[in-house]
Structure formats: C-alpha cells, structure tokens
C-alpha cells in the first residue's frame, strides 16, 4: 500500500495549499495506516514509500533505520512549512548506504561503467564470504518514466542489499534520463557488459545474470532479456562481452513505450514486443488491472506473446486488488517472496 500513501500525502499537502490544512496527527495516521506493514508503530526503509522513502535518511533523525511517530511528526511539519521540499526527491547517501548494508555484504559505490557522463555509474554489493565457485548476479534498474529516478531511492537500495545478503553479486544501475522519454537501453546494456568484463574480479558467473526493474526499469530489464541480437542498441565499451541476461523479473512493465515525435521504427527498436521469441529467458511479471500509468494490457500481451512463441518459462502474476502502479510494493510480502524463488530457481543461488 505504500504507493497509496504517496497519493494520500499529495492530497493532504494540496489541501494545505488551499488553506484546508490537515493536522500533523492526521498525516502521521495516514502514513502509518498505509506504510506500517508489520503494524509496529513505526516505518522501516523497506516499508517506506513516496516522500518518506525518497528522504528516508533525512527523516530518520536518530539513524536507527525506522521512522517513529516523533520523526514522522517532524517530517509532516517540515513539508507543511516548505511545499518545495516534497518536490525534491532525496536519495540515500554513500555513508547512509554503508550503514544500511547487512553484516557480510561488501559495497563498491559509484563505479563508472563507461566514461563521459555523470550518470554512467553503478553501485555494487556482494557477499564478503568466500564461495565455492562464481556467483550468480542481478542487475537492478530503477524506474521513473525514463526521465527521473535514481539508483539510490529506497526500494532499489533495499533489493541490492537483500540479494547481496542472499549470495548474489548485485549491481544497481543509473542511466541517462531523457526529457524526450527515449529509454536509454544502450546504457543498461553497457552496464551488463561491464559486469561480465569484470566478472573474474567480482566472482560473477557470466551465464547466471538476472535483471529486475519496476515500471520504466522493468522495460529496460525486459530489453536486457530479449534484445541481445539487436546490435544497434549495444553502444560503448566492452563490446566483446554479451549484454544478455538469463532471467528477468519486472513489475508494471511497459512493453510498447511511445517516443513523442518518434517514428514507428523508433518505437519498434526499443519495444520488448519486437524481440519476443522461443529463446527468451525465464520471465516473471507482476501487474495490476487498475494501473493508470502503465496499462495492464502491456503485461497481458507480453506474457501471451512469450507463451505463443514457445518461451519455456513465463510466470505472470496479474492482480486485481486496486494497487495500481504500485502493485509490487503494495503486495510486497507476496511479490518479494515470489521474486526470490524465481531468481533462486533460474539462477541457482546457493
């Protein structure tokens, strides 16, 4: 329900602007009702959504990994005084990220996977313990409509740390953001090639790499799984390595993104539907029927096309619970467990 909280908070502050100001207590109650999944009276980073997730490190005044009622009250007061603050997403800092890392997880932060642009960077998390052989890897790709977002927002940080603790090498990738909404498929492909090029250093099995993304990030993850034969999308260094992944999980996946002003050929080039084949890797898809950001027909059509083409491993979780575009986080207990089993099955994490 965390994305509902974002809507509720947005409505609350719109009302404040109209001089119909909700009380601090009402805001706290809304946050706890919609984000406190375990009902312990506080909100963890894993539970946080919307503004609380984006600015978690700032709101967590005592740095204990939770937002209690006092911290939620201070957050409500600050946002009410400064409406601009709610429009400026904050990301997890290097120091905060190191503090969040579980024991036994090593981090390397802001690694350039290509030179020449400030967003061509990734964070890497991996187990500190020795392993018997190369480890599977997961590529985490943030959402944001291809025009916003960052690898350091809470949900993507959480996935990176949790999967590293489970035995995977994980890269959490930034990519160029385009006001024209042209997805930068080339960037995430380059990041995968970088991972393979450095596989020996990080003990990565090049034949066991998966990808997860939400919304725009799910589109990019799907392209990693399907478009390896399209060399026009492979730009930058590490060309001697493949950009393909062996398993894809995506929530609220756009499968036919529109490029304003683009041609039909432009759209086809970056559409996962273009590349559906019997050779597709295992896919796990989540979508909800009331999603107004990415219509559920996107995942309906992709799942159906993959199965019709003869793809051997397609799992589609289609929800009708009103969670909309926030389907993954709203059903986190179920979706996260399903994704964990999927990657363990397809990539063979020990």
- As averages over each run of 10 residues, the pLDDT of the chain (350 residues) reads 35 33 72 76 74 70 84 84 54 92 97 96 96 96 92 93 97 89 89 98 98 97 97 95 98 89 89 97 98 96 98 98 93 96 88
The answer to whether the CB of 93 falls within 8 A of the CB of 165 is no
Q: Is 203 left (phi over 0), alpha (psi -120 to 50) or beta?
A: left
Q: What is the pLDDT of residue 8?
A: 34
Confirm if 180 and 191 have CB atoms less than 8 A apart.
Answer: no
CB atoms within 10 A of CB 44: 19
**pLDDT value at residue 26:** 72
Q: How far, in Å, CA of 63 to CA of 57, rounded?
A: 7
The sheet with strand 204-214 has its strands ordered as 105-112, 121-127, 169-173, 135-141, 204-214, 247-251, 283-288, 314-319
Which superfamily does CATH assign the domain made up of 94-347 to?
Alpha/Beta hydrolase fold, catalytic domain (3.40.50.1820)
154, 59 contact by CB (below 8 A): no
Helix (H) or strand (E) holding 125: strand 121-127
Residues in the chain: 350
Distance CA 137, CA 126 (A): 9
Looking at the structure, give the CATH architecture of the domain made up of residues 2-87. Answer: Orthogonal Bundle (1.10)
User: What is the rounded distance in angstroms from the CA atom of residue 259 to the CA atom of residue 60?
Assistant: 39
Q: At which residue do the structure tokens 């529109």 appear?
A: 258
Domain ranges of the chain: 2-87, 94-347
Is the four-CA dihedral 224, 225, 227, 231 of positive or negative sign? positive
Phi, psi at residue 232, to the nearest 5°?
-65, -20
Triad 235, 309, 232: Cα angle to 5°: 15
Helix, strand, coil percent values for the chain (each to nearest 5): 45, 15, 40
pLDDT of residue 49: 65
CA distance linking residue 56 with residue 58, whole number of Å? 5
Angular region, 56: left φ>0, alpha ψ -120 to 50, beta rest: alpha
Cα(113)–Cα(119) distance, rounded to whole angstroms? Answer: 10
Chain centroid offset of residue 277 CA? 25
Q: What is the pTM of this model?
A: 0.77
pLDDT for 180 equals 66
């Amino acid at each position: 329900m965390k994305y509902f909280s974002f809507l509720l908070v947005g409505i609350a502050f719109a009302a404040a602007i109209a001089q119909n100001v909700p009380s601090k207590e009402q805001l706290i109650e809304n946050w706890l009702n919609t984000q406190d999944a375990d009902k312990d009276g506080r909100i963890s980073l894993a539970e946080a959504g919307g503004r609380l997730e984006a600015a978690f490190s700032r709101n967590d005044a005592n740095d204990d990994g939770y937002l209690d009622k006092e911290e939620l009250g201070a957050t409500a007061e600050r946002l009410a005084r400064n409406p601009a603050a709610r429009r400026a997403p904050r990301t997890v800092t290097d120091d905060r990220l190191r503090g969040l890392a579980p024991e036994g997880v090593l981090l390397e932060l802001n690694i350039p996977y290509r030179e020449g642009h400030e967003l061509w960077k990734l964070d890497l998390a991996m187990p500190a313990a020795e392993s018997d052989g190369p480890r599977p890897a997961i590529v985490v790709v943030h959402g944001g409509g291809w025009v916003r977002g960052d690898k350091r927002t809470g949900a993507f940080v959480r996935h990176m740390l949790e999967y590293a603790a489970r035995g995977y090498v994980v890269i959490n990738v930034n990519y160029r953001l385009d006001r024209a909404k042209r997805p930068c498929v080339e960037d995430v492909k380059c990041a995968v090639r970088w991972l393979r090029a450095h596989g020996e250093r990080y003990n990565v099995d090049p034949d066991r790499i998966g990808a997860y993304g939400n919304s725009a990030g799910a589109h990019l993850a799907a392209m990693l799984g399907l478009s390896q034969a399209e060399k026009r999308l492979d730009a930058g260094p590490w060309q001697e390595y493949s950009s393909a992944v062996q398993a894809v999980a995506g929530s609220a996946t756009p499968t036919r993104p529109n490029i304003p002003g683009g041609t039909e050929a432009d759209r086809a080039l970056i559409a996962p539907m273009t590349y559906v084949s019997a050779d597709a890797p295992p896919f796990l898809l989540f979508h909800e029927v009331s999603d107004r950001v990415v219509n559920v027909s996107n995942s309906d059509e992709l799942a159906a096309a993959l199965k019709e083409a003869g793809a051997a491993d397609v799992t589609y979780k289609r929800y009708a619970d009103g969670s909309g575009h926030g389907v993954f986080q709203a059903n986190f207990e179920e979706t996260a467990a399903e994704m964990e089993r999927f990657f363990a099955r397809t990539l063979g994490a020990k």
